[in-house]
């Protein structure tokens, strides 16, 4: 290629351009029976817009420019015994094209070399994908749900299936609703081996997460743990979901993008981040990993009924908080800041509260606790959580492109059961520490994965529970 480039440059040095006042020198073939033509398309002076010459045959292999304007000069290029008449502009373009082609070829070779060098530091894509597939397992559960009308008994057994993924510590991570109220749980890998009995070690119905342990831990000798991402994915990032949906028995993969990241309610009273993806999530995929760049960014757990391609995953950040919580052998739940807020987007509210127009935050409309000792009061304006400022909609920055409700920061800023807030009260700034809890008592408490208690009074049987896991059910589970 370098020799070809040098040849094109030497050709340019041999060009002898001669101007003519009235006539243009033309090279004609000895046999004038035909005209060989290389003609530029209308509006084009480039090589790409030229039409191939057609017509007759020239004994001296000449190219006749029949349509060239009479005022343009010609360039004669002598190479061996071949003499051609070519426009100087076309000849310059040809030389430039050859140089660009050579440089592009060298760049492509350099890129390939860099790719080979980088591949020595990371495993091939096929190896990563194979390891991922071996870490995803299928979960089979025999479930007996509580009976709200006959609390002394249980519903008839039901067989359901879901997905799970191997994580560190020789454990399997899945969704709570896959194994909740299960009397028997088994797992099976993608290679179709025998089913292995497992048991629930930790259950978090509020965040829909569960940890399973196997009776035979030799299973993990051939099933590596998945790598969990420490970085929140970006909007439009490509994502792969792995799982065992209905309609087949082998591992299924679907591809999509990250569509939305938001702060949302899980099972009462838990709230947290939730990632929306457009990859297909179907019944049976629940508990399967969602993967970006070979690392798990979350766990598939629900889809929005009556819609298409709106599925949700539990982010890796929420999973990490769950794993940190159970490290002491007990699940305590997510800390939350309860109470009601009002936006500060109305300028009249600024005047009413005596605030500077540049002040941003949210108004405390109803504190969680009416106790006089409770730090937050009605009409307080929360301007910061930790060191993070709030806008007038109550949102804080998650990354460069995403903003979420400020209560998301509670789980990150809480220390010893207290979350630091900066508020405006009576026109003055104050810094306070507000206690947070993981539960909020209700008149009719939720079952949270347990069976209801009851008492018998003569012919009357009264259940002491609401008979449900949630007061406001989330989108359809599978």
Active-site residue set:
177, 208, 286
The span from the CA of 468 to the CA of 180, in Å, is 13
Bridge partners, residue 171, by sequence: 167
The span from the CA of 417 to the CA of 334, in Å, is 11
- The structure tokens listed for 79 are 């190479």
Determine contact, residues 318/339, Cβ cutoff 8 Å.
no
Answer positive or negative: Cα dihedral of 254, 255, 261, 262.
negative
Answer positive or negative: Cα dihedral of 84, 85, 91, 94.
negative
Helix (H, G, I), strand (E, B) or coil at 396: strand
The span from the CA of 59 to the CA of 312, in Å, is 73
CA distances from 386 to 102, 366, 411, 467 (A): 57, 21, 11, 39
Determine contact, residues 86/12, Cβ cutoff 8 Å.
no
- The structure tokens listed for 323 are 């794993």
CA angle 195, 297, 199 (to 5 degrees): 30
CA distances from 360 to 344, 394, 420, 422 (A): 7, 8, 17, 12
The phi, psi pair for 343, rounded to 5°, reads -70, 160
Determine contact, residues 341/406, Cβ cutoff 8 Å.
no
Quote the distance between the C-alpha of residue 348 and its chain's center.
40
- The structure tokens listed for 181 are 């109220």
Neighbours of 477 (CB within 10 A): 18
Q: Which residues contact 147 (CB under 8 A, 6 or more apart)?
A: 153, 154, 155
The DSSP symbol for 220 reads G
* Beta-strand runs (E) in 215-350: 238-243, 252-265, 271-277, 289-292, 295-303, 311-315, 339-343
CA distances from 328 to 64, 156, 202, 322, 323 (A): 89, 36, 11, 11, 10
- The structure tokens listed for 151 are 């609390």
List, in sequence order, the alpha helices (H) in 333-467.
347-353, 410-413
Q: Which residues contact 340 (CB under 8 A, 6 or more apart)?
A: 364, 365, 366
């Amino acid at each position: 290629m370098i020799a070809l480039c040098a040849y094109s440059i030497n050709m340019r040095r041999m060009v002898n351009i001669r101007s003519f006042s009235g006539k243009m020198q033309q090279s004609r073939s000895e046999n004038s029976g035909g005209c060989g033509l290389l003609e530029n398309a209308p509006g084009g002076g480039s090589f790409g817009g030229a039409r191939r010459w057609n017509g007759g045959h020239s004994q001296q292999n000449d190219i006749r420019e029949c349509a060239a304007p009479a005022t343009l000069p010609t360039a004669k290029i002598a190479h061996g015994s071949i003499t051609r008449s070519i426009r100087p502009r076309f000849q310059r373009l040809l030389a430039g094209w050859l140089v660009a082609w050579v440089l592009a070829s060298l760049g492509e070779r350099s890129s390939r070399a860099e790719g080979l060098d980088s591949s020595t530091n990371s495993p091939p894509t096929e190896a990563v994908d194979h390891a991922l597939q071996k870490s995803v397992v299928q979960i089979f559960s025999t479930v007996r749900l509580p009976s709200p009308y006959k609390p002394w008994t249980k519903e008839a057994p039901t067989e359901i299936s879901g997905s799970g993924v191997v994580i560190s510590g020789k454990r399997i991570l899945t969704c709570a609703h896959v194994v909740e109220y299960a009397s028997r749980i088994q797992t099976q890998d993608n290679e179709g081996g025998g089913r292995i009995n497992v048991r629930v070690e930790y259950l978090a119905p509020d965040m829909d997460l569960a940890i399973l342990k196997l009776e035979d831990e030799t299973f993990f000798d051939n099933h590596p743990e998945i790598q969990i991402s420490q970085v929140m994915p970006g909007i439009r990032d490509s994502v792969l979901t792995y799982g065992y949906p209905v309609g087949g028995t082998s591992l299924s993969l679907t591809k999509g993008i990250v569509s939305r990241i938001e702060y949302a309610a899980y099972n009462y009273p838990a709230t947290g981040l939730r990632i929306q993806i457009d990859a297909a999530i179907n019944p049976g995929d629940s508990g399967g990993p969602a993967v970006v760049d070979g690392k798990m960014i979350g766990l598939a757990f629900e889809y929005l009924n009556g819609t298409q391609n709106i599925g949700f995953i539990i982010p890796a950040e929420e999973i990490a908080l769950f794993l940190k919580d159970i490290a002491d052998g007990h699940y305590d739940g997510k800390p939350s800041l309860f109470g009601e807020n009002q936006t500060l987007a109305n300028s009249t509210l600024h005047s009413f509260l005596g605030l500077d127009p540049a002040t941003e935050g949210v108004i405390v409309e109803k504190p969680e606790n009416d106790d006089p000792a409770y730090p937050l009061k009605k009409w307080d304006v929360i301007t910061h959580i930790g060191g993070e400022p709030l806008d007038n909609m109550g949102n804080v920055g998650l990354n460069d492109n995403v903003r979420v409700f400020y209560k998301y920061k509670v789980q990150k800023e809480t220390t010893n059961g207290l979350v630091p807030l900066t508020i405006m009260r009576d026109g003055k700034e104050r810094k306070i520490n507000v206690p947070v809890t993981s539960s909020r008592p209700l008149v009719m408490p939720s079952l949270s994965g347990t069976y209801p208690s009851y008492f018998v009074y003569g012919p009357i049987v009264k259940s002491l529970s609401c008979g449900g896991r949630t007061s406001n059910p989330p989108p359809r589970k599978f």
